[in-house]
Every structure is written in C-alpha cells, then in structure tokens.
Amino acid sequence: MDFASGQIYHVFNRGNNSQTVFFNRENHLFFFDKIKKYVLPYADILAWCMMPTHFHLMIAVHRVDVVIGEHQSESEGFTSSETLTQVTQSKTRTLNDSIGIILRSYTRAIHKEQKISGSLFQKETKALCLTEPKFAPAYFDTHFGMMGNLDLPETNYLNVCFDYIHQNPVNGRLVRNPEDWEFSSYRDYYCGRKGKLINRDLANELGLIE
C-alpha cells in the first residue's frame, strides 16, 4: 500500500479464500478498538464497515508515519576521550506498519478463540486513492462490489465510495436497510448513534452527508 498525506483512500481486505473473519459481536468490537488505536494517529475515518468476511475503511490521511518512542544508540567511532557517544534516535511507525499490526494481532486472537490456524486475511490489503485523479479507481464489479472507472469526469469517487461502504450489508443481503447493520458507520451518521471513530465534521465539509 502506498499512502500520501492529504489524500483519501478506500482500504479493504477480506478473509483468505473468502473465509469468515468476524465470528461474533466481540470480534467486531475487538477489531474496532484496534482501528481506533492504530489508524486514528494517521488519518481521519470517514466511513467504515465490517462484514462477516471482510472490512472497509474510508480514510483521510494526514500523516504517513508517527513517532512512537525514542531510543539511544552508540555513535560510530570514539570521542577524543575514547568514550562512546550516545545518540538519541526517534523510532517511527508507518500507517502501513500499523495496518499490518491490526491484522496480525487480530489473527492471533481469532486463532486462539476459534482454535484454528493459517492465514486469516488475504495477503495484500488494498488501498485505492480516491482523490488523486491519476490514482483514482476504475469502478468495476469485484468481490467487494462495484468499484471501477466510469470514465466520467464528473464522477465523485468520494460519494460513490461513502455510499458503497454503507450499502455493503444490504448488497450482501445481510439486512434490508443499512441502518439494520450494527457494524458500520451508517448509524453514526443517520441514526443518532454517537460513535467516536468517524470525523463527522470532515465528512460534512466534503459533502458526504447532508
């Protein structure tokens, strides 16, 4: 995944061989907490949805790495007094690293809970840039639904993606209406739920909600 500060992305992954990755409500909540801890330091979340076999995030990236601590290392060579100089270096973690941590730690927890082994998610997490024209996705029918190039200059990829994520449970025939699915940001925008993961002000500024 290649992220750039100031861009908006659709991030998604699904179970390896389309297997189930969320088995119960506690799994969803555990994954939610991981997103909150490891994504929010880098990006504002505009929309999210967890389905039984996959997840979607729509994020506005404001930094691609963060400082997570400092450590001391020895400098090369000796000083005139022949003592080693200690150099304080900052340790950083990228957004890519953090997404990897989410998936690995969640996989370990599911392995333990479900007494299974092997890859839980597909190897590569996708991140489609929605705001940079040359990287904007071409909307076509995939396992994740309609996502491809309509080849129309007036196409608003942000609105298409925002609506697509919230309609995913309906398109997947899990519920009749998007508000019936607990594990998405739809209820936060339209049903009065006070979810703290999304940035409502930014979504409103971008014209994603009325």
Of the pLDDT bands very low, low, confident and very high (cuts 50, 70, 90), residue 68 is confident
Superfamily classification of domain 8-66+93-205:
Transposase IS200-like (3.30.70.1290)
Rounded (10°) CA dihedral 164, 20, 46, 127: -80
pLDDT of residue 90: 72
Q: How far is residue 119's CA from residue 179's CA, in Å, rounded to a whole number?
A: 32
Closest C-alpha among 136, 140, 126, 111 to residue 54 = 126
Q: Are 55 and 13 in contact (CB under 8 A)?
A: yes
How open is the CA angle 164-172-58, to the nearest 5 degrees?
30
> Quick one: what percent of the chain has pLDDT higher than 70?
79
Cβ neighbours for 33, distance < 8 A, ≥ 6 positions apart: none
Identify the residue whose tokens are 């500024």. 205
> Nearest-CA neighbor of 183 among 41, 61, 47, 36?
47
Q: Cα–Cα distance between 137 and 199 in angstroms, integer? A: 23
- Amino acid 155: pLDDT: 59
Q: Which residue blocks in the chain are alpha helix, DSSP H?
A: 25-38, 95-114, 157-171, 186-190, 200-205
Task: Locate the domains of the chain by residue range.
Answer: 8-66+93-205
Arithmetic mean of pLDDT, 26-32: 97
Q: Which of 21-30, 36-45, 62-71, 97-106 has the lowest mean pLDDT?
A: 62-71
